[in-house]
Chain A
Amino acid sequence: MVDNKQQWKAWLYLSPAIILLLVFTVWPIINTVRMAFLDGYKGLEAAGGATFNFGVQNFVKVVSYNRFLSCLGNTALLCVLTVPISTLLALLIAVCLNSIKALQKPLQTIFFLPYVTNTIAIGMVFAAMFNIVGSFIGTENELISNAGIINNIITFFGGSNVNWINAGSSYTANIVVMVVYIVWNALPFKILILLGGLQSVNKQYYEAAKVDGTSRSRTFWRITVPLLSPMIAYVVITGFIGGFKEYSSIVGIFGSTMGPPNLDRRLNTMVGFIYDSLSSNNQGRASAAALILFGIILVVTLLNLYVSKKRVHY
Chain B
Amino acid sequence: MKKLLVFILLAATALSLFACGKAKAAPNFTVPEGGYDGSEVTVKFYHTMGSNLSDVLDIYIEEFNKLYPNIHIAYEKIGGYDDVRNQISTELSYRTEPNMAYCYPDHVALYNLTGAVATLDNIIDSTIEVTRADGTKEILGLTEEQKNDFIKGYYEEGMQFGDGLMYTMPFSKSTEVLYYDKTFFEANGLTPPTSWDEMEALCGRIKEIDRDSIPLGYDSEANWFITMCEQYKSPYTSATGEHYLFNNDVNKAFVKRFREWYGKGWVTTQKLYGSYTSGLFTSTNGTRCYMCIGSSAGATHQRPAAGDDGSYPFEVGITSIPQVDQSNKKIISQGPSICIFKKENPQEVIASWLFLKYLITSVEFQAEFSMASGYVPVIKSVSENPTYADFISKADGGKYISALSAKVCLEQADYYYTSPAFNGSSTARDQVGALISKCLAETDVADGDAFINKAFTDAIDECEYQGG
Which chain B positions have C-beta within 8 A of A30? 10-11, 13-14
Determine the chain B residues whose CB is within 8 A of the CB of A141 once the complex forms: 264-265
The interface centre, meaning the residue of A43, A48, A264, A280 with most chain B CB atoms within 10 A of its CB, is A48
A46 at interface, CB cutoff 8 A: yes
Number of interface residues of A (CB under 8 A): 49
Who on chain B is nearest to A49 by CB?
B23
Give, as a whole number of angstroms, the nearest-CB distance from A262 to chain B: 4
Collect the chain B residues with CB atoms within 8 Å of residue A37's CB: 11, 15
Kindly state the separation between the CA atoms of A281 and B468 in the bound complex, as whole angstroms: 11
Which A residues lie within 8 Å of B7 (CB)?
A: 29
| Segment of A108-116, A126-134, A197-205, A206-214 engaged in the interface with chain B | A126-134
| Shortest distance from the beta carbon of A230 to any chain B beta carbon, whole Å | 21
Check A75 for interface membership: any CB of B closer than 8 A.
no
Q: Quick one: which of A33, A48, A51, A145 contacts B15, CB cutoff 8 A? A: A33
Partner of B440, one of A31, A33, A138, A262: A262
Minimum C-beta distance from B214 to chain A (A):
6
Nearest first, the 10 closest Cβ-Cβ pairs linking A and B are: A49-B23, A141-B265, A261-B271, A48-B114, A262-B441, A51-B20, A44-B113, A30-B14, A135-B268, A33-B11
Q: Tell me if A44 and B93 are in contact (CB < 8 A).
A: yes
Contact: B275 with A44, CB < 8 Å? no
Considering the chains assembled together, what is the distance between the CA atoms of A177 and B212 in angstroms? 30
List of A residues within 8 angstroms of B268 by Cβ: 135-136
Please name all residues of chain A whose beta carbon is closer than 8 Å to the beta carbon of B441 when the two chains form the complex. 167-168, 261-262
User: Which residues from A are CB-within-8-Å of B14?
Assistant: 30-31, 33-34
A53 to chain B, nearest CB (A): 9
Closest B residue to A280 using CB positions = B466
Cβ 8 A contact of A54, one of B15, B95, B465:
B15
Q: Is A298 an interface residue when CB atoms closer than 8 A count as contact?
A: yes
- B437–A262 contact, CB under 8 A? yes
Closest to B272 in A: A167
| Other A-B pairs beyond A168-B443, A262-B272, 5, CB < 8 Å | A33-B10, A45-B113, A47-B94, A49-B22, A49-B24
Which B residues lie within 8 Å of A139 (CB)?
A: 263, 265, 443
Q: Which residues of A contact B86 (CB under 8 A)?
A: 279
**Contacts A133-B279, A167-B274, A262-B272 hold; do A143 and B10 have CB atoms under 8 A apart?**
no
What's the minimum C-beta distance from B113 to chain A, rounded to whole angstroms? 4
Q: How far is the CA of A30 from the CA of B11 in the complex (A)?
A: 6
Stretch at the interface among B60-68, B280-288, B328-336, B359-367: B280-288
A138 to B271, CA, bound (A): 16
**Known A49-B24, A139-B443, A298-B4: A134·B15 in contact at CB below 8 Å:** no
A30 to B6, CA, bound (A): 11
C-alpha spacing A48/B20, complex, angstroms: 12
In the complex, A37 Cα to B262 Cα: how many Å? 47
What's the interface size class on B, roughly? 35 or more
Interface hub of B23, B430, B438, B441 (most chain A Cβ within 10 A)? B441
Q: A66 CA to B21 CA in the complex, in Å?
A: 34
Could you say which residues of chain B place their CB within 8 Å of the CB of A166? 274
Closest Cβ of chain B to A49, distance in Å, is 2
Beta-carbon contacts of A126-159 to B below 8 Å, as 1s and 0s?
0000011111101101011110000000000000
Who on chain B is nearest to A168 by CB?
B441
| Cβ contacts under 8 Å, B443 to chain A | 138-139, 168
Chain A nearest CB: distance from B219 CB in Å? 13
- Per the bound structure, the CA–CA distance linking A94 and B131 in Å amounts to 77
A314 at the interface (CB under 8 A from B): no
B115 within 8 A of A: yes
Could you write out 28 A-B pairs with CB less than 8 Å apart?
A33-B10, A33-B11, A37-B11, A37-B15, A38-B20, A44-B92, A44-B110, A48-B115, A49-B25, A50-B23, A54-B15, A61-B468, A132-B274, A133-B273, A135-B268, A135-B273, A141-B264, A141-B265, A143-B214, A143-B287, A145-B279, A145-B286, A167-B271, A167-B272, A167-B274, A261-B274, A263-B438, A281-B89
A143 (CB) vs chain B CBs: closest residue: B287
In the complex, what's the smallest C-beta–C-beta distance from B195 to chain A, in angstroms? 24
Tell me the complex Cα distance, A96–B17, Å.
57
Is residue B442 contacting chain A, with contact meaning CB distance below 8 A?
yes
Q: Are A143 and B265 in contact (CB under 8 A)?
A: yes
Encode B216-247 as 1/0 by CB contact (under 8 A) with A.
00000000000000000000000000000000
Which of B113, B263, B458 is packed against the most chain A CB atoms within 10 Å? B113
Closest to A127 in B: B274
Q: Tell me the complex Cα distance, A30–B15, Å.
A: 9
List, in ascending order, chain A residues with CB within 8 A of B383's CB.
none
Interface residues of B, Cβ cutoff 8 Å to A: 3-4, 7, 10-11, 13-15, 17-18, 20-26, 86, 89, 92-95, 110-111, 113-116, 212, 214, 262-265, 268, 271-275, 279-280, 283, 286-287, 423, 427, 430, 434, 437-438, 440-443, 458, 461-462, 465-468
* With contact pairs A33-B14, A143-B287 given, residues A135 and B22 touching in the complex (Cβ less than 8 Å): no
Within 8 A of B (CB), among A189-235: none
What is the chain A residue whose CB lies nearest that of B277? A135
Is A8 among interface residues, defined by CB-CB distance under 8 A? no
A52–B443 alpha-carbon span in the complex (Å): 46
Contacts of B465 in A (CB 8 A): 61, 65-66
Residues in A neighbouring B4, C-beta threshold 8 A: 298
What residues on B are CB-neighbors of A263 within 8 Å? Answer: 434, 438
Instruction: Report if A42-B113 is in contact (Cβ < 8 Å); known contacts: A133-B273, A167-B437, A262-B271.
Output: yes
> Closest Cβ of chain A: how far from B222's Cβ, in Å?
12
Q: In the assembled complex, how far is the CB of residue A121 from the closest CB belonging to chain B, in whole angstroms?
A: 16
Q: How far is the CA of A31 from the CA of B18 in the complex (A)?
A: 10
Cα A272 to Cα B245 with chains together (Å)? 28
A136 B15 Cβ-Cβ under 8 A: no
Kindly report which residue of chain A lies nearest to residue B212, judged by CB atoms.
Answer: A143
Which residues of A sit under 8 angstroms from B212, Cβ to Cβ?
143
- Residues of A close to B113: CB separation below 8 A: 42, 44-45, 47-48, 281
User: Which chain A residues border B18 with CB–CB below 8 Å?
Assistant: 34, 38
Residues of A close to B440: CB separation below 8 A? 262
Q: A44 contacts B22, CB within 8 Å?
A: no
What is the chain A residue whose CB lies nearest that of B113? A44
A280 to chain B, nearest CB (A): 5
Give Cα A143 to B114, complex, Å.
Answer: 49
Q: A145-B286, A167-B441, A280-B427 are in contact. Are A131 and B93 (CB under 8 A)?
A: no
Closest to B283 in A: A145
The residue in chain B whose Cβ has the minimal distance to the Cβ of A144 is: B287
A167 to B271, CA, bound (A): 7
Residues A223-250 near B (CB distance < 8 A): none
Query: Smallest CB-CB separation from A138: which chain B residue?
Result: B443
> Chain A: which residue is nearest B458 at the CB level?
A66
| Residues of chain B with a CB closer than 8 A to A44's CB | 89, 92-93, 110-111, 113-114
Instruction: Tell me the bound Cα distance from A257 to B113 in angstroms.
Output: 25
